[in-house]
Amino acid sequence: MKRWIALMLLCFTAGTAPAQTPSQNPMPVMELRIGKHTLNAEVAHTEPDRMQGLMHRRMLPENRGMLFVFTNVALHGMWMMNTYIPLSVAFVDESGTIINIEDMQPHTRDAHNAKKPVRYALEMNQGWFRKRGIGPGAKIEGLDKAPAPR
């Protein structure tokens, strides 16, 4: 009887445990500002973290996002394979200026590309930038505190 209860408990807890990302180390979180708006962004500055991104997440809090720090300035692109949340991505140059913002749909392989070479991409819930009147030309403050890409 004890063995049966222990087995049932194990099955129950295994079924309710939160999904883990392949990276066992949580990404650093930093505060960024765009005009009067403040947000907290997880920072994907390593290759494994950039590859994982927001895949497999079921939700993203309202003022939370993910900052991708790329190793080189280039025409970077994003896609939404294995991503459940509709997102908007802002492509950002080295000076912190938003170049363009693209809306992305879950579970697609559509490429969403920077219109000019960029160092960063900032993903937020879809419509986050639009709701706040943030568009190309807006400046993101705090990027200088981001961890170096590797």
Structural domain containing residue 37: 26-145
Question: Residue with structure tokens 């981001």?
Answer: 146
Q: Which of 9-13, 92-96, 129-133 has the lowest mean pLDDT?
A: 9-13
Question: What is the residue type of 34?
Answer: I
Whether the CB-CB separation of 6 and 31 falls below 8 Å is answered with no
The span from the CA of 149 to the CA of 1, in Å, is 54
- For residue 9, being part of any structural domain is answered with no
- 53: enclosing H helix or E strand: none
CB 115 within 8 A of CB 74: no
- What is the number of structural domains in the chain? 1
More confident residue, 26 or 95: 95
Q: Which pLDDT score, from 0 to 100, does residue 25 have?
A: 67
Considering the domain boundaries, does residue 126 fall inside one? yes
How would you classify the pairing of strands 64-74 and 37-44? parallel
In the chain, what percentage of residues exceed pLDDT 70? 83
Any domain includes 32: yes
Q: What is the mean pLDDT of residues 35-39?
A: 98
114 domain-assigned = yes
Q: What is the mean pLDDT of residues 62-83?
A: 96
Q: d(Cα 77, Cα 75) in Å, to the nearest integer?
A: 7
Closest CA to 90 of 48, 134, 55: 134
Instruction: List the CATH number of the domain containing 44.
Output: 2.60.120.1140
Does the residue 5 lie in any domain?
Answer: no
Rounded to 5°, angle at Cα 63 from 52 and 126: 65
Q: Which two tokens stand for residue 21?
A: 């990302």
| Domain presence at residue 12 | no
- 1 found inside a domain: no
pTM score, two decimals? 0.83
Confidence at 24, pLDDT banded by 50, 70, 90:
low
- Residue 6: inside a domain, yes or no? no
Residue 68 CB contacts under 8 Å (≥ 6 apart), including other chains: 44, 50, 53, 76, 78, 120, 121, 122, 123
Scan for tokens 């490429």, then name that residue.
Answer: 111
- Average pLDDT (114-127) is 98
